[in-house]
Structure 1
Amino acid sequence: MFRKFAIAAVTVATVATAAVAMSPTDAYAKNRRGAIAAGAILGLAAGAIIASQAQPRYYQPVRCQNQPIRRWDPYYRQYVVVGYRQVCY
């Protein structure tokens, strides 16, 4: 889980660095629609990556119980418990 989080953090850092490294002429261009669209797409992509890593993981719990081991005892003439073994499902 930590590995996925680290990959997401590196991706976000790379995108943020690329956004900061833009030249000033790109920032003051007359046509800003493309820059706004690119920023929105990168923001949504970064948000999707971070949100996908934040989901809780559910695992089916392992159920274990102690099962008695029974053996025939000729002295008592019945089955007696001689021990237990753990059985997990």
Structure 2
Amino acid sequence: MFRKFAIAAVAVATMATAAVTITPNEAHAKNRHGGAIAAGAIIGLAAGAIIASQAQPRYYQPVRCQNRPVTRWSPYHGRYIVVGYQRVCY
């Protein structure tokens, strides 16, 4: 739950940073803070890429299970008989 919230919060922060950096006030030719804005955008995109790469679902090998018969020697029948089943997973 917290992981989804953190990812959403970082995504919103990244989008807000991108929206602030592309304002008409900063779009004039004498912009002296262009390097700082570009660096902030690059760092924000890099942080978003790192978080997004960690948020991918993990795939695990499926567990295979089977019911193995449990046998006991029966002197009445003179042979091994099935008395139950045991679930074995590997």
What's the TM-score, normalizing by structure 2?
A: 0.70
* Corresponding position: 1:14 with 2:16: no
21, 42, 62: which one pairs with 2:44? Answer: 42
2:53 corresponds to which residue? Answer: 51
Kindly report which structure 2 residues correspond to 1:1-89, keeping only aligned pairs within 5 A, or say none.
2-21=1-20, 28=28, 30-31=31-32, 32-53=34-55, 55-89=56-90
What secondary structure sits across from 2:31 in the alignment? coil
| 1:75 CA drift (Å) | 2.2
| 1:26 CA drift (Å) | 5.2
RMSD over aligned Cα atoms: 2.5
Q: Which moved more, 1:61-70 or 1:28-37?
A: 28-37
2-side partners of 1:77 and 1:51: how far apart? 63
What's the TM-score, normalizing by structure 1?
A: 0.71
Aligned amino acid, residue 8 of structure 2: A
Count of matched residue positions in the alignment of Structure 1 and Structure 2: 87
Q: Which moved more, 1:28-37 or 1:42-51?
A: 28-37
| 1:18 CA drift (Å) | 4.3
| 1:16 CA drift (Å) | 2.7
Asked if 1 retains the 8 angstrom alpha-carbon contact of 2:14 and 2:45, the reply is no
Query: Which stretches of structure 1, 4 residues or more, deviate above 6 A after TM superposition?
Result: none
* Unmatched tracts of structure 1, length 5 or more: none
What secondary structure sits across from 2:59 in the alignment? coil
